[in-house]
Amino acid sequence: MAYIPGNTGTKLDKNFENDLLAIADTRLVLGNWYAECVMNGRSLPDFAAILGMCTSNYGHTRAIYQFLAAHGHDYAHLERGRDAAAICSMNVLDEAPAGWEDFIVSTWLTELATWMLASGFLKHEDRAIAGIAKKIGEETYFHLKYAQGWFQIIGEGKKQSELFQKSFAKRFPIALQWFGPATGKDPLHDAGIRDVPLKKLRDAFIKEASNAEKILGAKLKQEKSVKLEKDWRRDARRFGPIPDGLFEVVRFKDAEIAH
């Protein structure tokens, strides 16, 4: 049955579904990043923050998977039945952090980008998805605040600032690819499912990312346009499958005993 907002059981628009899965899968992998890296925190408040952000991100993933399950997907398959090629997380999380500054840059860019895409559904007529977008925003607000606190601390050290700049120069263009081509068709907006054009979300991401300069107190090399990788897929918002090592971290280890 064609999608009727608010009517569970109706089939979602395919592009809508793809974007929701891209957000959910990215938050799943981000949650795993936090879980894996928590012991690299610099203090107990860091441990509490990283674990808090970990559970928030798992919660966002679960909420979106449940929404998709209410519209014809198999929840168990979404959560623990897919192979590496089917997981649509941001490429920026493919490579493990090389240090603390790289961890802060990578997680912050991921939080910001996924929030931007989710924010396009804030006024969606289906209250379930609008509510999920709002909740993601409320929680991400404090995740970004945590990262910005670290920008200030990192900005006070010359070596740390340089590591931040180096990480940003490498990670930002990869993160920007998540938004796809700077021009071209925007089927979700054209269909009235997302009220904000993707280009505006992409521009807002660039602008917000550039604001880190003020807090950090150092220039950041920021490319306004990036060439998409040849195998970049619009449906997954990524190129290639997630690396085997990362899949080993995020995959469910005992799917057969899950309930």
Span interacting with another protein, options 124-132, 193-201, 229-237, 251-259, rule CB under 8 A: 193-201
Least distance between another protein and beta carbon 64 (Å): 18
Least distance between another protein and beta carbon 119 (Å): 4
Report helix, strand or coil for 2. Answer: strand
Instruction: Give the dihedral of Cα atoms 106, 110, 116, 120; nearest 10 deg.
Output: 170
Least distance between another protein and beta carbon 223 (Å): 20
Question: Which of 36, 66, 169, 232 contacts another protein by CB under 8 A?
Answer: 36
Q: Is 115 in the site for another protein (CB under 8 A)?
A: yes
Whichever of 68 and 126 has its CB closer to another protein, that residue is 126
Distance between CA atoms of 200 and 189, rounded to whole angstroms? 11
Strands (E), the chain: 232-233, 238-239
Whichever of 72 and 197 has its CB closer to another protein, that residue is 197
Quick one: which of 81, 83, 49 has its CA closest to 65? 81
Q: Is 53 in the site for another protein (CB under 8 A)?
A: yes
How many residues touch another protein (CB under 8 A)?
54
Q: Is 214 in the site for another protein (CB under 8 A)?
A: no
CB 80, CB 67: distance < 8 Å: no
Span interacting with another protein, options 7-15, 77-85, 167-175, 244-252, rule CB under 8 A: 244-252
- Would strands 232-233 and 238-239 be described as parallel, antiparallel, or unpaired? antiparallel
Question: Which of 1, 2, 44, 257 contacts another protein by CB under 8 A?
Answer: 44
DSSP assignment of 114-164 equals: HHHHHHTTTT-SSHHHHHHHHHHHHHHHHHHHHHHHHHHHHHT-HHHHHHH
Residue type, 118: A
Q: Is 190 in the site for another protein (CB under 8 A)?
A: no
Half-sphere exposure of 213 (CA within 13 A, CB side): 11
Residue type, 142: F
Whichever of 26 and 32 has its CB closer to another protein, that residue is 32
Question: Which of 201, 209, 218, 242 contacts another protein by CB under 8 A?
Answer: 201
Q: How far is CA 140 from CA 15, 33, 187, 238, in A?
A: 24, 16, 26, 22
Q: Is 179 in the site for another protein (CB under 8 A)?
A: no
Residues from 57 through 96 that contact another protein (CB under 8 A): 95-96
Q: Is 182 in the site for another protein (CB under 8 A)?
A: no
Q: Is 138 in the site for another protein (CB under 8 A)?
A: yes
Distance between CA atoms of 16 and 46, rounded to whole angstroms? 35
Which residues form the interface with another protein (CB under 8 A)?
Answer: 32-33, 36-37, 40, 42-46, 48-49, 51-53, 55-56, 95-100, 103, 112, 115-116, 119, 122, 134, 137-142, 144-146, 149, 152-153, 195-197, 200-201, 203-204, 208, 245-246, 248-249
